[in-house]
Structure 1
Amino acid sequence: MYKKRWLFSLLSVLLILSGCAGFQTGKQDDGAAEAEADGKVVVDFWTFWGSEIRRPVIEKIVEDFNNSQDQIVVKHTFVPWGDIWTKELAAIAAGDPPDVVINDINATALRGQKKQAMNLSQFLEKDDISDRFYPELWESTLYEGDSYGIPFNTDTRILYYNKDAFEEVGLDPEQPPTTWAELEEYAAKLDKKNGENYERLGFYPLFGVNYDVWMLNASGENFVSKEGEVQIDTETNLETLNWLVEWKNHYGDNVINSVKSQIDSQQGNPFFTGKLAMFVNTPTFYTQIRDYAPDLNFGVAMLPEKEEGSGHTSWGGGFVAEIPEGSSHPEEAWEFIKYLTDQEAQEYWAVKNYDNVANIEAAEAAAKSSELPEKDQVVYQLAVDNMPNTLLTPYPLSAPDFPTLMNPEIDNVLLGKKTPEQALKDAQAAVENLAKENK
């Protein structure tokens, strides 16, 4: 899963840095033309939310905004996930961009640097809404101190565990592991073998997340600091990588690959069937439990910390609402963005989609919403509680595509081709060279 996440990150950067001339957004639809005839300003709002669940929710928010005033009409334009940002860049290059677009939060500063997203300081000076959002999210939208996007939604990573399996082996189902040492201890008790075959795995750290999450969990720091310092070859990262190799050697490739293939099938996830006792994923993973294993007796917890006091650091991402550079109606776009990220719209999105939102008050209200059943509330509340522990990884401006250099080195360790020491040293050198080239 996390190789895909890094690949998505790289794709996003490549799309941001590339140009794509010649794309035209097309003419306004009849509704937009009619709105202009009525003297209203039409704001073209692009999203990739076209599913039968999310599209009605965002369009209801748009409808509510349109009904809340008589000066602006927002037109929602759905553009598929694989096309939206390529087409946005082409539209910017053609001088005909949308007025608002939903974009990846981790590349917001990069788009600000490239003058693809509008500097929002002129609006924030009049309407400072920065305190609506989790600080980590807000910081990720800044380039040279100015925001280039307003946080919309987010996520984090948490630990799911099987309470019945805990009870079976004598573990307290209300006391999940809180440190890596406890995680190892619990996993050993939860492992269940029949001869040479595993009937149940206690835990494997690279199911659901990749190595980067555990390095962030251990260190609480990004791989490239805000000042541009590369901090890959560190003692903490070395300890983490050695720890991951020990887990891999404990279970072996055959067991790991067999279980992973079941996880990738989604509804056949071994956590649903009791064949995997603990599993790390996003809070929204709960919706799969709700759909495929409604009777599963499970609990949720923050990621265990490397050692007591080191911190339960987790990883998250998210999306922002941006005004592309060259928008024809930036003032009206800003009015819509304020509405889109205010408590009412954010809470509605959170509850209807079971999605983590950026607005603090909306997230806290959603966790207590009477529309959510008790189990839904428990998981959502933990997600809210986990946000102060959640670290985002904005693309460093000095080395935005550094994962393409780091990932192969870590893969070499897990494939047994390099030692952890050598891989981290080589990754450090490669990313430092990249940063020098970019300077």
Structure 2
Amino acid sequence: MHRRTRSALAALVVLPLLAGTVACTSGSSDAPTEAGDEPVTITIMGKPAATNTAAVELFERQVAEFEEANPNITIEASDVPWDAKTFATRLAGGNAPTLLRVPLTEPPALIERGQVADISDVAAELESFDDLNPRVMQFLERDGAVYGIPEKSYAFGLVYNRDLFEQAGLDPDSPPETWDEVREYAAQIAETTGKTGFGEITTNNSGGWHLTGYDYTHGGRIIEQDASGNWTAAFNDDDAREVLELWKAMRWEDDSLGDNVLGKQEDLVAEFTAGNVGMWVSAPPDVYPNYIAAGGDPDAFGAGPMPQGGADSTLAGATVLMVNAQATEAEKEAAVKWIDWRALRPNYDLEVAAETAEASAADGLPVGVPVAPIFSDEAYAAYRDAIDEFVNVPVDNFAPYVASLGAFEYVPEPEVASQEIYAALDPLVQAVLTDPNADIDALLADAESRVNAILAQHAS
């Protein structure tokens, strides 16, 4: 594959694009050159939700700047997020966007079905391509082919309300580090403030997602592969049982999980923003922009390490950008140019990074949210220096989370049929949180059968 010499500007972390950050034109010689003379229109995912008006305005300005720099390319953007079932139908029917924005769980199936394009020829020309994190790229490369580019990475951590901690007599600078401590903190918050001590989500595959992440912290795995390459369920064990027993105790003995346990992540963000939830698990850098957009108090936001059950591990993933296999060569080239403009240049070109930060800060968007770096630590430090004067988030409130990123093993999501597996696990989590007499052993056995059936379908 083509290799290029890198400058000191050539590899910085990808910003969480939920914040809608954009790159301003800088007149730099590194600005993308125009594609060929052929007019081309590409449809893309990734436009911020209409409710985040500042992010939408910046996004639309960036589209206009990109089209000015590439006058033969027209961008048609959608704010419709990825949904595995919906887009499976759209891809099969030939009406999916040119550029797909998907979680890291999706590439194996998309590649296997031949629904995404090999972009190695154009990706190799990107200034930062060779510096992308191999822990992410391993899921996007096969036999020399490249099927996607990471937009951002994430790792699970604890999101918490510093104000509720103080009201409950807890130190907001010392969030819990173990699940036993989480239970203690949650009970204290619920008892002293009347709020939900620990929030949970269980629908739209989120229950299975959380069970997976919590299981990892105990050393467990959801699926495993045998010597013959066959995958089977691996969660019917003491690790997952500990997670479920903890949930059951917090829900029915401590009454610290509240009564609203059948929601999705967006519901919990709203409740957390309103100050009604003390703690919950997600990727703190991804939550923060939505929290601020909804009117959350920056100083009340806290980010801590993923609570542990003995394994020193956390679930990690990414959002990746992939090109529809039905794209023409011109569309493929245009899509990769957009990826570079939108997702990469604001992070590896320090001048553009500073301009992006300044523009985002001027529009009231969060700047400087600490993230799980997708490029090198050295490059991330250079990026932080470049944007320092525009940082408008309470960086110190993220310190416990940031410290954990280098201490934990990153464990990827299930390698096969992850979203289907999560959906199969949702009823298990929901049952434990809605029925005080739930039989955990029976529920685990039933879920194991469902997951094995899913894996058998993917093996055939």
TM-score (ref. length: structure 1): 0.70
Aligned runs of 1:243-322 on 2, under 5 Å?
A: 243-252=246-255, 256-257=258-259, 269=271, 272-273=274-275, 276-283=277-284, 284-287=286-289, 289-290=291-292, 291-294=294-297, 297-307=300-310, 310-322=311-323
Q: Deviations over 1:363-386 (max 9, x none)?
A: 6636954322141x3466776666
Q: Identical aligned pairs, as a percentage?
A: 16
In structure 1, C-alpha distance between the alignment counterparts of 2:341 and 2:119, rounded to whole Å: 15
What does residue 344 of structure 1 align with? Answer: 346
What does residue 422 of structure 2 align with? Answer: 403
The verdict on how the C-alpha distance between 1:173 and 1:41 changes in structure 2, with shifts beyond 3 A counting, is same
Q: Report if aligned partners of 1:357, 1:363 keep a CA contact under 8 Å in 2.
A: no
What does residue 240 of structure 1 align with? Answer: 243
Matched, 1:44 2:42: yes
Matched, 1:187 2:190: no
- Number of residue pairs aligned between Structure 1 and Structure 2: 391
What does residue 157 of structure 1 align with? Answer: 156
Q: Report if aligned partners of 1:158, 1:280 keep a CA contact under 8 Å in 2.
A: yes
What does residue 54 of structure 2 align with? Answer: 53
1:438 is paired with a residue of what secondary structure? helix
What does residue 9 of structure 1 align with? Answer: none
Q: Report if aligned partners of 2:107, 2:140 keep a CA contact under 8 Å in 1.
A: yes
Matched, 1:370 2:368: no
What does residue 199 of structure 1 align with? Answer: 194
The residue type equivalent to 1:218 in the other structure is H
Q: Deviations over 1:235-256 (max 9, x none)?
A: 2112211121111122449x72
Displacement of 1:326:
3.7
1:436 is paired with a residue of what secondary structure? helix
In structure 1, C-alpha distance between the alignment counterparts of 2:333 and 2:185, rounded to whole Å: 55
Matched, 1:217 2:217: yes
Displacement of 1:114:
1.0
Matched, 1:423 2:423: no
Displacement of 1:150:
0.9
2:72 is paired with a residue of what secondary structure? strand
What does residue 334 of structure 1 align with? Answer: 336
The residue type equivalent to 2:194 in the other structure is E
Displacement of 1:170:
4.9
TM-score (ref. length: structure 2): 0.67
Q: Deviations over 1:56-110 (max 9, x none)?
A: 3334444444455x6x63322123517998689657755x875434344321221
Q: Deviations over 1:259-286 (max 9, x none)?
A: 988x97678736744x543333442433
Displacement of 1:118:
0.6
The residue type equivalent to 2:431 in the other structure is N
In structure 2, C-alpha distance between the alignment counterparts of 1:127 and 1:293, rounded to whole Å: 37
What does residue 147 of structure 1 align with? Answer: 146
In structure 2, C-alpha distance between the alignment counterparts of 1:357 and 1:57, rounded to whole Å: 24
What does residue 375 of structure 2 align with? Answer: 360
1:174 is paired with a residue of what secondary structure? coil
Displacement of 1:200:
3.9
The residue type equivalent to 1:334 in the other structure is V
In structure 2, C-alpha distance between the alignment counterparts of 1:378 and 1:413, rounded to whole Å: 36
What does residue 431 of structure 2 align with? Answer: 412
In structure 2, C-alpha distance between the alignment counterparts of 1:387 and 1:133, rounded to whole Å: 18
Return 42-51 or 381-390, whichever deviates more: 381-390
In structure 1, C-alpha distance between the alignment counterparts of 2:341 and 2:437, rounded to whole Å: 53
In structure 2, C-alpha distance between the alignment counterparts of 1:413 and 1:267, rounded to whole Å: 22
What does residue 5 of structure 1 align with? Answer: none
Unaligned runs of 5+ in 1: 1-34
In structure 2, C-alpha distance between the alignment counterparts of 1:236 and 1:247, rounded to whole Å: 17
Displacement of 1:313:
1.0
RMSD: 4.4
The residue type equivalent to 2:389 in the other structure is S
